[in-house]
């Protein structure tokens, strides 16, 4: 089985990723309203109308605040535009930090597992009608022309950039199999799709059931679930197994949660994308990752 920083990724998961990584329509962002095709002012539309797949692919949360307009366009509509206009669009997407825009060197690095001839051939495919100078945008029409090996190489190297920690030794994970049999199959693995978040991971541990582990749980139901299972805020500074850690921002909004498997390790998922694995992580590393937020301990009483 393949792995990314020692997190397991089955072939079936890579196949699923390949299907959803590049949407069949593009989001294009602009500082000024385009003249030659429809667009909307970003402040007048609810960005949450886009699915999590769309938001993950185009990294909508990282778009530069200078972007004021957005256009949704099919691949065919984009390629029907004059070359000069396409060039300007590609350059602006990179400048505004939109996802799925790479330099040629970045794409070569994402395909480093392939031989040089394969890399050159696939780069030529990706550049057709979707490149400007050294910039290339991934679109469904060129992504689907790549070999599965090329797609999987890009996905694995791209996912590697999302992960800060290597998975711990297998022996550590296996030590928790008996005590947490329902969580064990998910430990140090990737989800097949975007959506599963930290709250669903913790809820699954609290309830000893993974029926909802692949869901995107909201904070309200999550806090209700803790209360129903007799978890309450504890003022202690020491931790123990089965504690829940919740991190809050300056507005006292919960931004992350993790479940303690022991006094040393936690069951954790850093984000809601398919590139964030369910992991067994050292509590010290977990606290370091969320050090900019206030951590509170919830304990079953």
- Per residue in 116-150, pLDDT (tens digit) is 999 999 999 999 989 999 999 999 999 999 999 99
pLDDT digit string (tens) for 161-214? 999 999 999 999 999 999 999 999 999 999 999 999 999 999 999 999 999 999
CATH of domain 170-300: 3.90.1720
Question: Does the structure show a pLDDT above 60 at 46?
Answer: no
| % of residues, the chain, pLDDT over 90 | 94
Q: Is the per-residue pLDDT at 28 higher than 70?
A: yes
By the 10 Å C-beta count (0-12 exposed, 13-18 middle, 19+ buried), 172 is classed as: middle
pLDDT digits (tens, 9 = 90+) for 263-283: 999 999 999 999 999 999 999
pLDDT at residue 199, rounded to an integer = 98
Least Cα distance to 72 among 87, 91, 51 occurs for 51
Helix ranges (H only) for 43-139 are 52-58, 75-79, 83-95, 104-110, 116-127
Q: What average pLDDT does range 223-251 have in this prediction?
A: 96
Top-confidence residue, 59 or 45: 59
- Is residue 48 scored above 80 in pLDDT? no
Q: Using pLDDT thresholds of 50, 70 and 90, give the confidence band for residue 44.
A: low
Residue 45 has pLDDT above 80, yes or no: no
Q: What is the pLDDT of residues 78-96, one digit of tens each?
A: 999 999 999 999 999 999 9
pLDDT for 47 equals 60
What is the average pLDDT score of the chain? 95
Q: Strand, coil or helix: what is 141? A: helix
Residue 1 pLDDT level (bands cut at 50, 70, 90): confident
| Angstrom distance (rounded) from CA 227 to CA 97 | 41
pLDDT of residue 43: 72
Backbone angles phi, psi at 154, to 5 degrees: -60, -45
* pLDDT of the residue at 6: 97
Domain boundaries, the chain: 2-160, 170-300
**Tokens 């945008």 — which residue?**
137
* Both tokens assigned to 163: 């992960």
């Amino acid at each position: 089985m393949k792995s990314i920083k020692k997190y397991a990724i089955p072939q079936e998961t890579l196949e699923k990723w390949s299907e959803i990584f590049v949407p069949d329509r593009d989001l294009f962002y602009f500082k000024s309203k385009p003249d030659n095709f429809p667009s909307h002012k970003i402040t007048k539309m609810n960005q949450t109308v886009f699915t999590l797949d769309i938001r993950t692919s185009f990294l909508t949360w990282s778009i530069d605040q200078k972007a004021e307009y957005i256009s949704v366009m099919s691949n065919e509509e984009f390629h029907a535009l004059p070359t000069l206009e396409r060039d300007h669009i590609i350059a602006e997407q990179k400048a505004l930090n939109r996802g799925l825009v790479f330099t040629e060197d970045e794409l070569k690095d994402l395909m480093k597992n392939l031989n040089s001839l394969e890399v050159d051939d696939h780069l030529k495919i990706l550049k057709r009608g979707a490149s400007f100078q050294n910039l290339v945008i991934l679109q469904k029409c060129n992504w689907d022309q790549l070999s599965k090996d090329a797609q999987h190489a890009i996905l694995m190297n791209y996912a590697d950039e999302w992960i800060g920690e290597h998975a711990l030794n297998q022996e550590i994970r296996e030590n928790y199999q008996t005590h947490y049999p329902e969580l064990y199959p998910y430990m140090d693995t990737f989800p097949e799709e975007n959506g599963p978040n930290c709250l669903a991971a913790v809820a699954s541990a609290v309830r000893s059931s993974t029926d909802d582990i692949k869901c995107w749980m909201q904070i309200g139901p999550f806090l209700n679930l803790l209360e129903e299972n007799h978890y309450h805020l504890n003022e202690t500074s020491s931790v123990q197994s089965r504690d829940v850690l919740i991190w809050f921002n300056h507005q006292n909004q919960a931004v992350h949660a993790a479940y303690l498997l022991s006094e040393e390790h936690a069951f954790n998922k850093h984000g809601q994308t398919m590139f964030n694995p369910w992991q067994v992580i050292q509590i010290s590393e977990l606290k370091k990752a969320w050090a900019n937020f206030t951590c509170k301990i919830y304990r079953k009483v």
